[in-house]
Chain A
């Protein structure tokens, strides 16, 4: 494949080190016009780093690139954009106080006499959002009010807003549901037809089979192989990524239902949580499914005390004791944990080391009379770095320098280290590689087997169907239906997810 004639971008012997750690070793590869090139690899393999070098946000330490036959070494993001190279970031990079429309067109706001033409801006934004299926999102809403999924859509829209010759998508679908993913793929196909080259990074193998033309496997910063997508099976790709065989059928759940661990009655919190009631049993894994904006995250946040309840009651434990949860602190005191969806904003202390991040919710256990024992803190961090397979150079490596998937593992580790009875996972496998995903599934199964009660929010329906005992489907803020394991089917769950959304939305969703 190397050096193929139609190459728009050729990367030759690119190297990158961060301090003493070598992240990319002599990477060679080519991107062709009008083709989708998938880049896969484990967490921390160097995918994002490579993409960022191409997009100009990192500088390489050696090697060279050519773009359309001319030498290419962007000085920064804007330089790369001038040459027609754009990137949709894995970590969201929007301005929370600006509106959706402003974020999308930030680099090219329509102006009249130096004053922003909001009419035109909003019209353009609405058109674009409609094209990727976000008709119900107000374009003058500040981005800070959106959920991660919607924000990811805005990020994608911003990437699509300008013409380009090479578009890099770094895990664009990590928190999208099937519906949004389909619409995104329509856009990708449209761009491909127009001759745009695309580099597509994802951990979702089905998607890669569906959309990519070529796949390159990266392992520990080295290119393992590049193949046409049809010549490899998913198993083969995964095996190349990991460098060994992995078993990836999740342990079948044997639901030994225990007593009620958490009962939620008529929970209301804002417009997106209306009269939600359900029981969660010890040893049970309950999935929460629904479209983006259906209120899944809002529901679990309300249970955790992160948002204020307008009404409703929560009962805990075998005696079904009524508890008042006014803050996350109360929730944690009652043995509830929430692994939030937005690791960067809500889960991590980015400049702090992995060890300190893991320690934060566990300080009472690591201290005596308010004084922290550094030894206990180190031991805890080491243990979770090992069991969670967190790839870091040292326990005190700042969380912000970890790869996306490894950051996610830190957030999970932080809460596993605290022995809670009810664990709520909001998009736990967002950005996690295939191998690690199965480890997380196994870990969840183990927690359930030990009598913990789990709620899992995920936009990946297949994931929920694989790991849950029951799936509750939310639709427009209401609980539309609950399915137990023997009644799981993609079709019925999807139908329930659409059931309460508006008519236009439904027809559109059906089309997608």
Chain B
């Protein structure tokens, strides 16, 4: 049979499908609002995706090793809180505060990961615990008050290159690096192996626990990175990122990453984030009310995963039998 005939469309259809769905959304909103197709819209979207994207990258990895990280929203809030308190209350120099912020994220991720591997616990419940712990800690650190820090973090939001903001470029860079690691490196292959069949991975000599731990640590660290951007824009608000874990997971799953582990792509996750954010912005531009927004968002999420199911079925060489 003709391999080249089969192989090239395989990865291309992955992205084309997503891009098609995205195009459809853009078209609908373009037709139903006056100013959707404007530089301003795309500027806003480019501004709104970096923190979600960066967290979604970590989540993609976590889902690939058949885990889940529910703590991302809270960990981001905690990192941001530490950043905010360091800057606004103690007046600590910016570089030190940034390092502290990243460290907090990393430590939270490491803690979740350690507990998951040490007792072989389901990450769902461990990170659910971490979600509560980090949120509680956030309230303690901020004393439940919003701290205004934008003035100290202007260099994050205001730096631009070729008209694109630094956070956006950073997010894209992280997406590309994470995709490269996933598909081209030994570590990436180990992640896929662990997510596909943990027993076989262990018997193949993969340090399953180390891979797990590393992935959770990376997820935590990326929450810290996202916190820099999020805080620079929205201040150190103890309620930041509530419910964000679900938005992040939705974006990742829309991107075709399996909740069962072993299958996923960071680039597709990026498209997933785009779809969610375009949807949010588009709906807000149409002036839709909250109930409508939620209804439509829910439908789009489900439609996206149903589409993904058919795309995968088409790609499979064989049709699995009716059970």
Seen from chain A, the residues whose Cβ lies within 8 Å of a Cβ on chain B are: 18-21, 52, 57-59, 75-77, 304, 306, 327-329, 331-333, 338, 340, 345-352, 356, 359-361, 363-364, 367, 370-372, 374, 393-394, 396-397, 401, 414
Contacts and interface: CB of A to CB of B under 8 A. Distances in A.
Given A349-B197, A349-B262, A328 B203 contact: yes
A306 B199 CA distance: 9
Contacts of B197: 345, 348-350
B205 A361 contact: yes
Q: Closest 3 interchain pairs by CB? A: A19-B317, A18-B318, A332-B205
Given A329-B207, A345-B199, A351-B263, 10 more contacts: A19-B317, A76-B321, A76-B322, A304-B203, A328-B202, A332-B205, A349-B201, A352-B196, A371-B186, A394-B6
Contact of B200 (A20, A57, A346): A346
A327 B206 CA distance: 10
10 contacts: A19-B316, A59-B321, A59-B322, A328-B202, A332-B205, A349-B193, A349-B200, A352-B196, A370-B187, A397-B317
A306 B202 contact: yes
A352 B317 CA distance: 13
B204 interface: yes
Contacts of A352: 192-193, 196, 262
B7 A396 contact: yes
Contact of B189 (A333, A347, A372): A372
Interface string B169-210: 000000000000000111101101100110111111111000
Interface of B: 1, 3, 6-7, 184-187, 189-190, 192-193, 196-197, 199-207, 262-263, 316-319, 321-323
A345 B295 CA distance: 41
Contacts of B319: 18, 59
Nearest to B1: A20
Contact of A52 (B200, B317, B321): B321
Contacts of A350: 196-197
Contacts of B318: 18-19, 401
B322 A360 contact: no
- Most chain A CB within a 10 A radius of its CB, from B190, B197, B202, B262: B197
Contacts of A306: 202-203
Given A76-B323, A306-B202, A372 B7 contact: no
Contact of B203 (A338, A374, A396, A401): A338
A440 B3 CA distance: 29
B317 A401 contact: yes
Contacts of A359: 189
B102 to A, nearest CB: 23
A372 B192 CA distance: 14
B323 A77 contact: yes
A327 B200 CA distance: 13
Nearest to A393: B1
Nearest to A418: B205
Contacts of B184: 371-372, 374
B322 A351 contact: no
A347 B203 contact: yes
B278 to A, nearest CB: 31
Contacts of A52: 321
Contact of A372 (B185, B202, B317): B185
A360 B196 CA distance: 12
B204 A328 contact: yes
A57 B204 contact: no
A401 B321 CA distance: 12
Nearest to A57: B321
Nearest to A55: B321
Given A345-B199, A370-B187, A18 B204 contact: no
A32 B321 CA distance: 26
Contacts of A345: 197, 199-200
A21 B317 CA distance: 8
Given A345-B197, A345-B200, A346-B200, A360 B6 contact: no
A394 B57 CA distance: 31
B1 A394 contact: yes
A232 to B, nearest CB: 33
Contacts of B1: 20-21, 393-394
Contacts of B201: 349, 360
A396 B196 CA distance: 16
A51 to B, nearest CB: 12
Contacts of B323: 57, 76-77
- Most chain B CB within a 10 A radius of its CB, from A306, A340, A345, A372: A372
Nearest to B3: A394
A21 B3 CA distance: 12
Contacts of A57: 321, 323
Nearest to B183: A372
A52 B320 CA distance: 12
